[in-house]
Amino acid sequence: MPEVTLVDAINLVLARAMQDDPNVIVFGEDVGINGGVFRATAGLQQRFGPERVLDTPLAELLISGLCVGMASQGLKPVGEIQFMGFIYPCIDQLVNHASRLRHRTQGRLSCPMVLRAPCGAGIRAPEHHSEHTEAMLTHIPGLRVVIPSSPERAYGLLLAAIHDPDPVVFLEPTRLYRGARGLVDDNGEALSLDVAFVLREGRDVTLIGWGAILKETLAAAEALADEGISAEVIDLATLKPYDAETILASVAKTGRCVIVHEAARTGGLGAEIAALLAERGLTSLLAPVARVAGYDTVIPLPRLEQSYIPSINRIVSAARRACRFT
């Protein structure tokens, strides 16, 4: 079982899905000849041919529209948007067609498409290349939103997304592409969607995150352990529909919760989780729910980029404050 990077895991699962199912089609800007801007599709066109790995024009609305059309006719398209900051033209297709097709046709048609998009800061990219606006996507009924935090979960979750009969937006943290390594067995086994992963057991406070920020969250849990605070760490993984039961069970045990996300604070997914705890977990809480998030501003590139991303110290401080309540 080789140790691979997250971007290698994406490449492995795309190749596996295309090998196992001739209906899987991969396309996007520069994904064929050049193998993608991050090389996630390197070698796929050479292996499977230009009819199954297609280069498209610089037109995100076209890419998402092709996904809907292909999916409605029995194919399983995997479209790539080069950066999440370019996904906004796709909202038309996602809201008006992809997410509604099953309901519009009363189940006669479904939309088994995946739209992949790198996301997040930390690679010193230009404007529009470091967006993390997942909450906008989670507000769309009928759409799944998934984000991995390791190569192992990238492999299993992307495979599950490709197998899913309904549309999935699959977000890929850019700073983990080559900043995370793990043992990945290319066995064609998918992980379950809509299930959160408990990465670390704890008794005093629950830390919830997703994507690249799990790196800082786990490091914060280690630092808290040195202070005698036992933190449970949850990787949400599927952002829509998220696993409410795992969250509620954890907070019932710890009594405290800190939600960590890179996206801007106001209107972020952390607020939705805080609302869940207010509605269904209030009697378990020993302290107010805390959020450690990005700031309500455009990401200040490049010199202040690292200051925008929630730091280990910010997470530790929020957990300490929560644990002061008794």
CATH topology identical between 3-183 and 197-324: yes
* The pLDDT value given to residue 210: 98
**Count of CA atoms in the C-beta half-sphere (13 A) of 246:** 21
* The pLDDT value given to residue 1: 78
Q: In this structure, which long-range contacts are made by residues 100-107, counting pairs with CB atoms below 8 Å and at least 24 apart in sequence?
A: 100/142, 101/68, 101/71, 101/72, 102/142, 102/166, 103/142
* Local confidence band at 302 (pLDDT 50, 70, 90 cut-offs): confident
Instruction: Choose the CATH number for 197-324 among 3.40.50.10330, 3.40.50.920, 3.90.600.10, 3.40.190.290.
Output: 3.40.50.920
User: Taking residues 106-129, what's their average pLDDT?
Assistant: 92
* Local confidence band at 300 (pLDDT 50, 70, 90 cut-offs): confident
Task: Indicate which residues carry an active-site annotation.
Answer: 129
CATH says 3-183 is which class?
alpha beta
* The pLDDT value given to residue 217: 98
* The pLDDT value given to residue 117: 98
Give yes or no for residue 74 having a pLDDT over 80: yes
Q: How far apart are CA 80 and CA 7, in angstroms?
A: 13
Strands (E), the chain: 3-5, 24-28, 53-55, 76-80, 114-119, 144-146, 168-173, 181-183, 197-200, 205-209, 231-235, 238-240, 257-264, 290-294
Q: Which two tokens stand for residue 243?
A: 């696993």
* Local confidence band at 75 (pLDDT 50, 70, 90 cut-offs): very high
Give yes or no for residue 326 having a pLDDT over 80: no
pLDDT tens digits along 239-276: 999 999 999 999 999 999 999 999 999 999 999 999 99
pLDDT tens digits along 20-45: 999 999 999 999 999 999 999 999 99
Q: Kindly report the pTM of this predicted structure.
A: 0.97
* DSSP letter string, 1-32: --EEEHHHHHHHHHHHHHHH-TTEEEEETT-S
Share of the chain above pLDDT 90, in %: 94
Name the nearest CA neighbour of 189 among 18, 14, 26, 13: 13
Share of the chain above pLDDT 70, in %: 100
Give me the residues paired with residue 31 across strands: none
* The pLDDT value given to residue 247: 98
User: Taking residues 53-80, what's their average pLDDT?
Assistant: 97
* Secondary structure of residue 141 in the 3-state scheme: coil
Per-residue CA distances from 2 to 10, 151, 243 (Å): 14, 11, 30
* The pLDDT value given to residue 127: 80
pLDDT tens digits along 124-144: 888 888 999 999 999 999 999
The answer to whether 281 and 252 have CB atoms below 8 angstroms apart is yes
Secondary-structure percent of the chain, ordered helix, strand, coil, rounded to 5? 40, 20, 40
User: Taking residues 194-215, what's their average pLDDT?
Assistant: 98
What is the domain partition of the chain in residue ranges? Answer: 3-183, 197-324
pLDDT tens digits along 171-202: 999 999 999 999 999 999 999 999 999 999 99
